[in-house]
């Protein structure tokens, strides 16, 4: 089998301090048939200049100022620009081990390149330092998609799969956050994808005080994603925004509204105690 081109999508917005480390970790991969698709999501700092300072032809810079800002928009745009048969991702303030692409690609080839989605263990660094050891087997990964707590059995930033999967099941732009988890849950519901994790920490996830989980509406989208999942299971139409969901539930389903708000408070407390 010829070595397929792997497109690594790196969306970013104002990451001038960190993106060079991310790019270097990809250029140093043991598997060299890669392209690095840098998607500039409305940056106003010097991120562009940092990206353009790399002269390796595998590094490709794409501004996205003509499209709304947001993570889902950026990922879909990067996938559209990618020329590789295989797609994976790296957040611009993270890095990965030198053998990440090689090991994940080998697993896709071993299990079926057209139907497999491969993640890996994650090393957290920054304000939290811990190793995320997630299940390896497909059936154990699926269990996390329907649990109320301890749901993370595969990390969205680490996934690698055939481009056709991402073209068929796009990231949904109504999600400001949790667009990756929404995708994973829908793929699990489809029964068309075989999930697996590499049991090695191939991805280093930097947790910073201004990261996603510290954004004001992060929890709203956590609840919103769960509600969309519940409504799909009941063949009910989904709400389009968290605000619409909360307004409708407050008016027509007060018990569920109170339950969601209590859940938010509990998660906030758990996050505070963890820090």
pLDDT for residue 25: 98
Helix (H) or strand (E) holding 243: helix 242-252
Q: Report whether pLDDT(271) > 80.
A: no
Sketch the domain layout of the chain as residue ranges. Answer: 6-208, 216-274
Q: How far apart are the first and last CA of the chain?
A: 47
Which CATH number describes the domain made up of 6-208? Answer: 3.90.550.10
Cα distance between residue 101 and residue 65, in whole Å: 29
Token readout for 24 is 């270097």
In the chain, what's the furthest Cα-to-Cα distance? 58
Residues composing the chain: 275
What predicted TM-score, i.e. pTM, was given to this entire model? 0.92
Average pLDDT over residues 115-138: 94
Evaluate whether 101 touches 6 at the Cβ level (below 8 Å): yes
pLDDT for residue 69: 85
pLDDT in tens, 4-57: 999 999 999 999 999 999 999 999 999 999 999 999 999 999 999 999 999 999
Average pLDDT over residues 59-84: 95
């Amino acid at each position: 089998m010829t070595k397929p081109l792997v497109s690594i999508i790196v969306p970013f917005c104002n990451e001038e301090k960190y993106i060079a480390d991310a790019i270097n970790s990809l250029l140093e991969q043991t598997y060299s048939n890669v392209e690095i698709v840098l998607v500039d999501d409305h940056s106003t700092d010097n991120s562009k200049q940092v990206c353009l300072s790399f002269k390796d032809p595998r590094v490709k810079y794409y501004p996205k100022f003509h499209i709304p800002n947001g993570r889902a928009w950026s990922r879909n745009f990067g996938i559209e620009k990618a020329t590789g048969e295989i797609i994976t991702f790296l957040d611009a303030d993270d890095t990965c081990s030198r053998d990440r692409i090689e090991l994940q690609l080998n697993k896709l080839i071993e299990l079926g390149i057209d139907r497999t989605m491969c993640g890996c263990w994650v090393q957290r660094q920054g304000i939290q330092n811990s190793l995320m050891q997630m299940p390896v087997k497909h059936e154990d990964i699926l269990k996390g998609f329907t649990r109320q707590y301890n749901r993370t059995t595969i990390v969205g930033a680490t996934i690698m799969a055939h481009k056709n999967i991402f073209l068929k099941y796009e990231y949904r732009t109504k999600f400001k956050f949790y667009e990756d988890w929404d995708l994973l849950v829908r793929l699990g519901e489809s029964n068309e994808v075989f999930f697996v994790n590499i049991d090695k920490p191939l991805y280093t996830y930097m947790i910073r005080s201004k990261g996603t989980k510290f954004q004001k509406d992060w929890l709203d989208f956590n609840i919103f994603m769960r509600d969309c999942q519940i409504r799909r299971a009941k063949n009910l139409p989904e709400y389009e925004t968290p605000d619409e969901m909360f307004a409708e539930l407050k008016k027509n389903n007060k018990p569920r509204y109170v339950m969601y708000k209590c859940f938010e408070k509990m998660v906030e407390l758990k996050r505070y105690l963890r820090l």
